[in-house]
Amino acid sequence: MATVNRRRVLLGGLAAAVSGAVTLPSSIPSWASARTTAAAPAIRDPFQLGVASGDPLPDSVVLWTRLAPAPLNPDGFGGMPDATYNVEWELANDQAFGSVVQHGTAAAVRAQAHSVHIEPVGLEPGREYFYRFKTEGFISPVGRTRTAPAAGAAVNQLKYCFASCQHWEEGWYHAHRGIVADNPELVLFMGDYIYEKPSGRGPELKVRGLAVPEDTATLALYRARHGQHKTDADLQAAHAVAPWITVFDDHEVMNNWNATTAPASTARKTAGFQAFYEHMPIRSTAKPSGASIQLYRQLAWGNLARFHMMDTRQYRNAQATGDNCTTMRDPKRTITGSAQEQWLLKAFETHPCTWDFLGQQVFFAQRDGDGKSSTCESPDSWNGYQGSRDRITKGWVDRKVPNPIVLTGDVHRHWAADLRQDYFDHSDPIVGSELVSTSVTSTSAGSAPPTAGWYANNPHVKYCKGERGYVRVTATPQQMKADFVTVSNALERDPAKVVIKTDVSYVVQAGKPGLQKA
Ligand code: FE
Ligand code: CA
């Protein structure tokens, strides 16, 4: 029976990733598999998109799935009839579900593309759980998740991975296999989970096709595009191994969009946000209202780490392209909007955790071609909103945030950089660091890698690597270590022919800003 076989396969992969995992019993305790929605039409196995969890709190974590027997259908309904289905869920202490701690039933409705977001409460802090779903006699794959440690609790270590940019056509998701093998406690995703556009690369740089190979501008097509991504077994495994904390960048809606993009894009924002919510394990507080979504939020990991997950896309007040150096320095320009900026600065006033990670989308550190900022590189980044960057950097310095680290995606290369208030004064003190993860698959647009001369003008930039991969971070009360992981060839399908390795590691000592090569 297909359901059982697939469940065992995913469980096997999960067990391999979990050190000291329990051996599965020969028969998993049966979960009565009768029809759950008598009035609705029968369906085929709807668990084609796997399961996911996310946004862990000390007493809660979001559990996600979406019913979609035919996820590629261009109508966006995933092959589901126009009916409401009851979906049962279970949360257990063990992956054999011998000790179920909570269970319930949720309605999967067509208006939400039959996606299900469960937000159980009253869980124990800082521990692992397993979850699964059932509907119409079909049982989902099993996911592993965890709650955050209690607020202020002493935490000795946190290992998480972060990634971004996974164009479907441009490669295989070996990076997600690497993440699964790392067995992290958390996964962060910094955006470009989907791309609204087909790849512009030549056929030699594409490995697989889109179900609907056209620009995505309608809710139906955003749903189908998200659904296609979620069919990837490596991506499903990465979601099943740990809770994710996700934010979007531009391509979940359209290339380089911002708050000043033409009003016509309101419909696209509305559709893109809705499909994003339906496919991500995020809380109902992030349920969109038309063309508006509350994406920025804070999460904490005991006394060790805080994550300030940011939205640098929705509140920009200026067009990023066609800028000159003067407008980029206009202090009235904002990449965060003033409400988000105030929210962040307020959080900086308290220091409950050793590490403050600013999880966000676009390059933060200045990149400076000629050492005088007269070339004004990369306006679609914090370079184009220097007033914002100045206020936030000064904000954490003035408020004595102990160890700020900016996490970034977007640029399809690994980068590591130290942060200064004044990038053009190379003697200005270092006040933080930035870790930029390369893409899972998306290729670079062909700009040349930095030269020795470029590095000389940018002494705060330590590293750049134009390969696919992700970043693994291990934080302790004493130090933060960032491993920049590379995938030897994302165009090669056979895992046996692909090397996933740590290219370089950098360490920041707590209380001593600045990257040191490990
Ligand atoms: Fe990207
Ligand atoms: Ca992007």
The string of pLDDT tens digits covering residues 114-161 is 999 999 999 999 999 999 999 999 999 999 999 999 999 999 999 999
| Closest to 350 measured CA to CA, from 287, 292, 401, 408 | 401
Question: Is 294 within 8 Å of 350 (Cβ atoms)?
Answer: no
CA angle, residues 348, 349, 350, in degrees to nearest 5: 90
Cα 236 → chain centroid: 13
Least confident among 145-149, 317-321, 450-454, 466-470: 317-321
Ligand 2 mean position, distance from CA 38 (Å): 44
Name 302's Cβ contacts closer than 8 Å, sequence gap at least 6.
126, 148, 149, 150, 151, 152, 153, 154, 155, 353
Q: Is the pLDDT of residue 21 over 60?
A: no
Name 257's Cβ contacts closer than 8 Å, sequence gap at least 6.
250, 265, 268, 269, 313
How do beta strands 355-359 and 404-408 pair? parallel
What size, in residues, is the chain? Answer: 518
Ligand 2 mean position, distance from CA 362 (Å): 7
Distance CA(496)–CA(499), nearest Å, equals 8
Q: What is the pLDDT of residue 329?
A: 79
| Closest to 433 measured CA to CA, from 479, 476, 371 | 479
Neighbours of ion ligand 1 (CB under 5 A): 165, 192, 442
**How is residue 256 written in tokens?**
């380089």
Question: What is the b/e burial string over 193-224, where b = at least 16 CB atoms within 10 angstroms of the residue's CB?
Answer: bbbbebbeeeeebbbeebebeeebbbbbbbbb
Ligand 2 mean position, distance from CA 438 (Å): 11
Per-residue model confidence as pLDDT tens digits over 92-116:
999 999 999 999 999 999 999 999 9
Q: Is the pLDDT of residue 448 over 50?
A: yes
363 vs 329: which has the higher pLDDT: 363
**Residue that has been written with the tokens 């056929």 in this structure:** 203
State phi, psi for 100 to the nearest 5 degrees.
-80, 125
- Residue 150's SS3 state is coil
473 pLDDT band (50/70/90 cuts)? Answer: very high
> Minimum-distance ligand to the CA of 253?
2
Distance CA(503)–CA(290), nearest Å, equals 43
Q: What is the pLDDT of residue 5?
A: 38
Q: What is the pLDDT of residue 213?
A: 94
Q: What is the pLDDT of residue 374?
A: 58
Question: In this prediction, what percent of the chain has a pLDDT beyond 70?
Answer: 89
Per-residue model confidence as pLDDT tens digits over 382-392:
988 989 999 99
Neighbours of ion ligand 2 (CB under 5 A): 192, 249-250, 410
Q: What is the pLDDT of residue 444?
A: 77
Output the CA torsion sign for 401, 406, 407, 408.
positive
Q: What is the pLDDT of residue 280?
A: 98
Q: Which stretch of DSSP H or E encloses residue 339?
A: helix 338-348
Ligand 2 mean position, distance from CA 516 (Å): 28
Ligand 1 mean position, distance from CA 409 (Å): 7
Ligand 2 mean position, distance from CA 211 (Å): 22
Q: What is the pLDDT of residue 406?
A: 99
Distance CA(80)–CA(58), nearest Å, equals 35
**Residue that has been written with the tokens 């006040």 in this structure:** 431
pTM of the model: 0.94
Ligand 2 mean position, distance from CA 170 (Å): 15
Q: Is the pLDDT of residue 263 over 70?
A: no
Distance CA(120)–CA(134), nearest Å, equals 16
Distance CA(378)–CA(412), nearest Å, equals 14
Q: What is the pLDDT of residue 27?
A: 44
State phi, psi for 275 to the nearest 5 degrees.
-65, -35
362 vs 326: which has the higher pLDDT: 362
Specify which of 254-263, 361-370, 396-405 reaches the highest per-range mean pLDDT: 396-405
Which DSSP string corresponds to 346-380? HHHT---SSEEEEE-SS--S---SSSSS-S---SS
Per-residue model confidence as pLDDT tens digits over 180-189:
999 999 999 9
